[in-house]
């Protein structure tokens, strides 16, 4: 059923011209679009991709000029593969080449781009096949199937996953639908875990064939499903080749299960501890995360509604198989088999819920019924090992089949009404190994049958299409492989029948007797030969004596007959069946029913079972409309960008792709419905451009006549145009590319004018609308603002009138404003300095606050000033404060000292040099620190004779020094503790009397005379007397030592113990002299 997208002419041509427009700045970093770009952007139709056919090949192999050339076909695949384009059509058959890397072409955006579009409107993709099948199923209510084939590692499993995912995305999201869809999707991880394994060709190889039917209701919603499985490779359970692994589930259980579960199952995490897992020496694979996959499987089991009892039963069975592989046997005294490690049989019995003795006996004995007699015979160690492996294979195969049945129960539809089916067949491709056995024989027989179906259905669909369109069908020559299928499956004559006869024949039968029977019966068959039947000596050298060869459609394959009889019989001793039928494990008990023990009929052989199931599969496929996905493996190394032509050529042969190309090209290479062809190429004919009002068929005829198609190059069917040769289509497409450039400017101009006018009209309408609403908004805002202003002014005036009243509702706001205004004005006129005493006047309501703020601000200024002072200045301030405490209001000269800072040294340069050289280094007592230095006049204590001296204050004493001839001589040293009192006058003179207690006077001896007599108090005339006294008091830390005379005279001790009097007076000029009475007269000037 064809579906078409309705588009306007302008939109259609814009899509066509997108690829021809110059790239934007953001596109200039890449020379050509990536694969992700080609899929994620607006999809190109098949005809559009022909523009790049020289670089990226053609999207459909039937468009190849030399369609009979396999080299041309492979070259086309190679071109596309190296451009990251992995999909190619052969008509409606999709060829997929495994890229071995992520291409980013399966995202949600890609899924949406392939939904509800015509098959040829988008590039080749697995989604296109799924969409075409889905739409045909819904539109025509016919059952569909998608056949996915290819060898291991070609990408079959991934393709089936993508088909399922697309079908899930295509349905509506309703709770019931989502539940079914989730179960369909979650069945994959379970079946992959139990049915896939790592091989040398593929890390996730499907070791079984799978056919899944998805049931849809009339709305197109998935409502159920059913799965069929074929030929599980159960031999892998007990043996793996070098570099391969057992089935994933064993490794997942060991890596992902909790420690508690492993302990309960008697397992340890190391896979190398189990014989069935370590034979391939490849227990871990970099590309596989077993622990994560185990979590996915557990979640999937819950989604499919497995009960916890069923889950535990499954894990117990998997564990029991691992333990079974470690069971070994040895000979007893009679040469019979006995179990070496009985602890393992105990674990197996516990896990399966059976009796240990019965399990052990079943592994070492065999019971045979012959003519009514029951005979139990012991087994040899080799026979016991065979029985052990047979049990492991049988249990695993039956559990796998039970899993499929259980999943089918979960997927069973309960919705009434008619349903349509869409089947997905993911089955092994043709296999040709160095050593091919029974499994390869069955797999290749399956591919012969499917190839037969493929050719029959393809020819049938081609003939049906030609008949519908009224075009004469031309006979197609092709290889009919029915002769090979008959060789294998024909009754009484085919290989399977001969194998069954040999298995049932009494007497000594083995693989070589089977080969002899084949040679005898098939010696004249054109597609069979062996070492015995071949007459060509060159061929004989290439065949082993235990091999036979079949000429398949894909080539000659040699099969070794080793183990054919054994694998076809697929025997499991009766004792083992009885032991399994008696266990309590709910799954094992179900797959080994007790009824099986009572059946007298011999079960069908493995080959016959496979032939019957394959015949049923063919019947299923023949009643459905098929679609095909052929998967190709580009190399054996799993590397991207590695295209091995020889390897690909081999797969092209056995997939029958060239046969398919020849069938599709036998008549006409290209066919297209009239509306689609007319819509794309109508610009090439003036009669059909830009709009054609007639019938699409007539329009296509006009285009063909205008392009001068030869009469034999095309046919006009009922609904489609048929073109015989690809070059005719290529010329048409090339002409379209030339025409595009001619029309591009016109379309761009029209489009730009349309867009500009549309934008202008919209802007003009928007401006008018905005202006109207804005005027309304501004008017409303102005009204609100005026009302607010009137209310504020009215409240202000009332507040002003009542401003002096008590605060009430009327004046509270005004008073608050007055306070705020005062604070703002105050903030702008605050004093900047401590000495600035200005302060703004405050209103009546803020008087008290103003006073408090003035105090706070002054404290702040003081604090800031104090914190900003350096330590030296701070010390000077402290001395000034001390001077204030000592002299303020007590001495007349205090006020004159205020403007001047106290200093630590008032010596001249010459005196300072003497102090540094003589005093500091020689005279000063060690440990003392000089605090103050000044020149002064000392008056003798017996005649008041003035003498120049240097007064130096240290941290511990007062020094009086005489400077002579550039030398300093110590005259007096008074410890600060020895000073009794410092006496000054209250006048403005500089008199300083230092009183010494009599008991300490003897210590102050004259350094020059050495006399010990009492010398009395020191009388000094010290410039800056206030400064000097403050320094002495500060250093001595004793304010009480200072005495300011309160009378007009001061008594003092003189030399020799006498006492004297100092007269204090005021006069015009400050002077200190001895008067006529012999007393010292101190006169302070005004």
Tokens, residue 1033: 């008091």
Catalytic residue among 429, 494, 699, 1060: 429
Catalytic residue among 136, 187, 206, 1030: 206
Catalytic residue among 192, 233, 397, 431: 431
Exposure letters 375-390 (e unless 16+ CB within 10 A, then b)? eeebbebebbbbbbbb
1052, 996 contact by CB (below 8 A) = no
Residue 659 annotated in active site: no
Spatial distance between the Cα atoms of 273 and 280, rounded to a whole number of angstroms: 13
Q: Return the closest-CA partner of residue 648 out of 83, 128, 103, 153.
A: 153
Alpha helices in 970-1024 (DSSP H): 998-1001
Cα separations (Å) of 249 from 208, 388, 428, 585, 607? 15, 20, 20, 19, 27
205, 410 contact by CB (below 8 A) = no
Spatial distance between the Cα atoms of 269 and 282, rounded to a whole number of angstroms: 15
Catalytic residue among 88, 133, 152, 569: 152
Spatial distance between the Cα atoms of 561 and 511, rounded to a whole number of angstroms: 6
318, 253 contact by CB (below 8 A) = yes
Strands of the sheet containing 87-90, edge to edge, are 87-90, 93-97, 625-632, 144-149, 420-426, 209-216, 222-230
Residue 35 annotated in active site: no
Catalytic residue among 132, 160, 199, 202: 202
181, 413 contact by CB (below 8 A) = no
992, 982 contact by CB (below 8 A) = yes
503, 509 contact by CB (below 8 A) = yes
Task: Give first-to-last CA distance, the chain, whole Å.
Answer: 133
Report CA torsion sign: 479, 481, 487, 492.
Answer: negative
Residue 811 annotated in active site: no
Catalytic residue among 153, 195, 224, 256: 153
581, 597 contact by CB (below 8 A) = yes
Spatial distance between the Cα atoms of 440 and 63, rounded to a whole number of angstroms: 35
For residue 103, how far is the Cα from the chain centroid? 18
831, 838 contact by CB (below 8 A) = yes
Who contacts 437 (Cβ-Cβ below 8 Å, separation ≥6)? 559, 560, 562, 563, 564, 567
Residue 905 annotated in active site: no
Catalytic residue among 157, 893, 1024, 1030: 157
Q: Return the closest-CA partner of residue 376 out of 387, 367, 363.
A: 367
Spatial distance between the Cα atoms of 90 and 124, rounded to a whole number of angstroms: 10
Residue 206 annotated in active site: yes
Is there a cis peptide before residue 690, judged by omega within 30 degrees of 0? Answer: yes
Tokens, residue 516: 């002899």
128, 398 contact by CB (below 8 A) = no
Q: Return the closest-CA partner of residue 85 out of 111, 122, 59.
A: 59
SS3 content of the chain, % helix, strand, coil (to 5): 50, 15, 35
* β-bridge partners, 425: 147, 211
R_g over Cα of the chain: 58
Spatial distance between the Cα atoms of 829 and 636, rounded to a whole number of angstroms: 93
Spatial distance between the Cα atoms of 206 and 193, rounded to a whole number of angstroms: 10
Cα separations (Å) of 95 from 150, 178, 274, 718, 887? 10, 31, 41, 30, 116
Tokens, residue 1014: 């009492």
Catalytic residue among 205, 530, 990, 1036: 205
* β-bridge partners, 975: 957
Residue 205 annotated in active site: yes
Active-site residue list: 152-153, 157, 202, 205-206, 429, 431
């Amino acid at each position: 059923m064809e579906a078409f997208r309705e588009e306007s002419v302008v939109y259609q041509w814009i899509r066509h011209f997108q690829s021809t427009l110059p790239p934007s700045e953001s596109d200039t970093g890449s020379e050509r679009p990536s694969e992700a770009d080609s899929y994620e952007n607006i999809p190109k139709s098949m005809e559009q991709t022909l523009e790049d056919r020289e670089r990226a090949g053609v999207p459909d192999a039937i468009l190849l000029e030399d369609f009979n050339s396999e080299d041309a076909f492979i070259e086309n695949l190679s071109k596309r593969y190296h451009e990251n384009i992995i999909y190619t059509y052969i008509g409606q058959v999709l060829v997929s080449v495994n890229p071995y890397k992520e291409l980013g072409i399966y995202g949600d955006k890609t899924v949406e781009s392939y939904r509800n579009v015509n098959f040829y409107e988008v590039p080749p993709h697995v989604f296109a096949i799924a969409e075409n099948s889905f739409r045909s199923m819904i539109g025509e209510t016919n059952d569909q199937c998608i056949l996915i084939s290819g060898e291991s590692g070609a990408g079959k499993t991934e393709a089936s996953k993508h088909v399922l995912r697309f079908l899930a995305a295509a349905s509506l999201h309703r709770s019931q639908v989502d539940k079914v869809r989730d179960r369909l999707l979650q069945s994959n991880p379970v079946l992959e875990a139990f049915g896939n394994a790592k091989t040398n060709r593929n890390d996730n190889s499907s070791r079984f064939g799978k056919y899944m039917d998805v049931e849809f209701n009339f709305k197109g919603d998935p409502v159920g499903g059913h799965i069929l499985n074929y030929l599980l490779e159960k031999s892998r359970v007990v043996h793996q080749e070098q570099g391969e692994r057992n089935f994933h589930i064993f490794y997942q259980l060991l890596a992902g299960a909790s420690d508690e579960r492993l302990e309960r199952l008697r397992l340890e995490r190391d896979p190398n501890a189990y014989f069935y897992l370590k034979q391939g020496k490849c227990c871990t694979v970099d590309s596989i995360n077993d622990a994560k996959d185990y979590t996915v499987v557990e979640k999937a089991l819950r989604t499919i509604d497995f009960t916890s009892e069923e889950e535990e039963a499954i894990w117990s069975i998997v564990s029991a198989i691992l333990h079974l592989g470690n069971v070994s046997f040895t000979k007893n005294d009679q040469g019979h088999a006995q179990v070496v490690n009985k602890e393992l049989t105990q674990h197996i019995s516990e896990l399966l819920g059976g009796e240990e003795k019965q399990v052990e006996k079943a592994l070492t004995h065999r019971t045979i019924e012959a003519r009514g007699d029951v005979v139990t015979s012991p087994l040899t160690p080799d026979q016991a090992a065979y029985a052990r492996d047979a049990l492991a294979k049988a249990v695993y195969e039956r559990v796998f089949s039970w899993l499929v049945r259980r999943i089918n129960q979960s997927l069973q539809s309960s919705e009434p009404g008619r349903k349509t089916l869409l089947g997905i067949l993911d089955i092994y491709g043709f296999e040709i190994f160095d050593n091919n056995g029974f499994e390869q024989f069955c797999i290749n027989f399956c591919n012969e049958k499917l190839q037969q179906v493929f050719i029959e259905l393809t020819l049938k669909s081609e003939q049906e299409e030609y008949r519908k369109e009224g075009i004469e069908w031309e006979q197609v020559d092709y290889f009919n492989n029915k002769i090979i299928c008959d060789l294998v499956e024909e009754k009484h004559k085919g290989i399977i029948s001969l194998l069954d006869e040999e298995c049932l024949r009494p007497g000594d039968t083995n693989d070589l007797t089977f080969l002899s029977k084949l040679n005898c019966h098939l010696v004249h068959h054109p597609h069979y030969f062996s070492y015995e039947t071949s007459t060509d000596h060159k061929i004989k050298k290439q065949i082993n004596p235990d091999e036979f060869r079949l000429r398949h459609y894909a080539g000659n394959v040699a099969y070794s007959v080793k183990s054919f009889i054994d694998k076809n019989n697929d025997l499991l001793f009766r004792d083992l069946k009885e032991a399994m039928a008696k266990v309590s494990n709910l799954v094992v008990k179900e797959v080994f029913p007790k009824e099986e023990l009572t059946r007298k009929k011999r079960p069908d052989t493995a080959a016959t079972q496979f032939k019957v199931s394959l015949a049923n599969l063919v019947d299923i496929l023949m009643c459905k409309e098929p679609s095909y996905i052929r998967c190709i493996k580009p190399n054996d190394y799993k590397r991207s960008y590695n295209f091995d032509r020889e390897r690909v050529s081999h797969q092209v042969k056995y997939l029958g792709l060239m046969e398919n190309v020849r069938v599709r090209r036998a008549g006409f290479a290209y066919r297209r419905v009239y509306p689609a062809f007319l819509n794309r190429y109508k610009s090439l004919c003036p009669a059909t451009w830009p709009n054609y009002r007639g019938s699409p068929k007539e329009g296509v005829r006009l285009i063909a006549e205008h392009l001068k198609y030869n009469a034999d190059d095309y046919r006009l069917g009922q609904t489609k145009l048929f073109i015989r040769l690809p070059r005719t289509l290529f010329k048409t497409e090339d002409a379209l590319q030339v025409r595009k450039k001619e029309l591009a400017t016109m379309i761009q101009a029209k489009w730009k004018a349309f867009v500009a006018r549309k934008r202008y009209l919209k802007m003009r309408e928007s401006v008018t609308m905005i202006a109207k609403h804005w005027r309304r908004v501004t008017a409303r805002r102005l009204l609100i603002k005026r009302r607010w202003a009137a209310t504020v002014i009215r409240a202000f005036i009332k507040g002003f009138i009542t401003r002096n009243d008590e605060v009430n509702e009327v004046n509270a706001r005004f008073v608050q404003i007055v306070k705020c205004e005062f604070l703002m004005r105050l903030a702008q006129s605050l004093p900047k300095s401590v000495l600035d005493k200005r302060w703004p006047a405050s209103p009546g309501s803020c008087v008290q606050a103003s006073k408090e703020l003035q105090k706070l601000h002054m404290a702040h200024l003081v604090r800031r000033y104090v914190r900003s002072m350096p330590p030296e200045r701070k010390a000077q301030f402290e001395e000034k404060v001390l001077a204030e405490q000592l002299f303020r209001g007590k001495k007349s000269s205090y006020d004159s000292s205020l403007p001047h800072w106290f200093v630590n040294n008032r010596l001249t340069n010459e005196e300072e040099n003497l102090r540094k050289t003589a005093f500091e280094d020689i005279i000063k007592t060690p440990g003392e620190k000089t605090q103050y230095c000044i020149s002064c006049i000392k008056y003798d204590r017996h005649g008041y004779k003035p003498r120049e001296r240097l007064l130096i204050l240290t941290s511990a004493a007062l020094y009086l020094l005489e400077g002579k001839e550039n030398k300093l001589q110590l005259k007096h040293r008074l410890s600060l503790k020895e000073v009794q009192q410092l006496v000054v006058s209250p006048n403005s003179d500089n008199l300083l009397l230092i009183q010494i207690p009599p008991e300490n006077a003897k210590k102050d001896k004259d350094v020059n005379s050495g006399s010990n007599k009492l010398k009395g108090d020191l009388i000094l005339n010290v410039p800056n007397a206030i400064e000097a006294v403050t320094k002495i008091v500060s250093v001595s830390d004793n304010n009480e030592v200072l005495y300011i005379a309160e009378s007009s005279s001061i008594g003092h001790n003189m030399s020799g113990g006498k006492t004297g009097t100092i007269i204090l007076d005021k006069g015009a000029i400050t002077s200190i002299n001895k008067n006529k009475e012999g007393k010292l007269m101190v006169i302070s000037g005004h």
